[in-house]
Amino acid sequence: MDFWYVIIAAVVSYLLGSIPTSVWVGKLFYGVDVREQGSGNAGATNTFRVLGAKAAIPVFIIDVLKAYVAAKLVVFFPYLPHTPMYINLQLLFGILAVVGHIFPIYAGFKGGKGVASLLGVTLAISPISALLALAVFVVVLLITHCVSLGSMLAGCSYPLFVFFVEKTDIVSLQVFSVIFAVLLLVTHRKNIARLRNGEEKKMW
């Protein structure tokens, strides 16, 4: 494996993740910086609240795809799918895309929470667990109308699916799944406080 190829792919992954979809969509088509309205978050949920579904849906899809594509850059390397090195490179590139989403170089390093991009990474690496976690999110959202609660419960369910449904023996993926859940809880600290106080906003 050529070290410089990994470095190039890593940089590309970060730059892909840095595409500030909600910011660009808001400014180009609505003349609005979504970071200055609503929750101030540059993600699909705040885009929905500020600009509506017509803007939020493409933002969500692109935010998922940019991390998915980054994790799939591994196809340019000579490793068999589902082997430890293959997964490790997917994790490296995917995580860098998420970092780019949270700290986008194109938007003053002020981005979103990375939920959609994390979904893109998990879809690329462990699609079965990702889809099951997505199902948890949809069910919770339909019952509670609360995106943050659905995101956190889906994130916490993801490592359970990785361990007990896919039953992976790749340590890096096991560790990532746990960090994935913890990261979602950490980035939703304010949401947790609002949920406790009964002040969390609902989608409808």
Please write the tens of the pLDDT for every residue from 119-159.
999 999 999 999 999 999 999 999 999 989 999 999 999 99
| Confidence band of 114 (pLDDT split at 50, 70, 90) | confident
| Confidence band of 1 (pLDDT split at 50, 70, 90) | low
Structure tokens at 195: 């949920």
Higher pLDDT, 188 or 158: 158
Q: At 175, which helix (H) or strand (E)?
A: helix 171-187
Task: Of 30, 170, 58, 180, give the one whose Cα is nearest residue 114.
Answer: 180
Domain boundaries, the chain: 1-113, 126-204
**pLDDT tens for residues 96-108?**
999 999 999 999 9
The predicted pLDDT at position 41 comes to 86
Q: State the average pLDDT over residues 32-52.
A: 90
Maximum Cα–Cα distance across the chain: 53
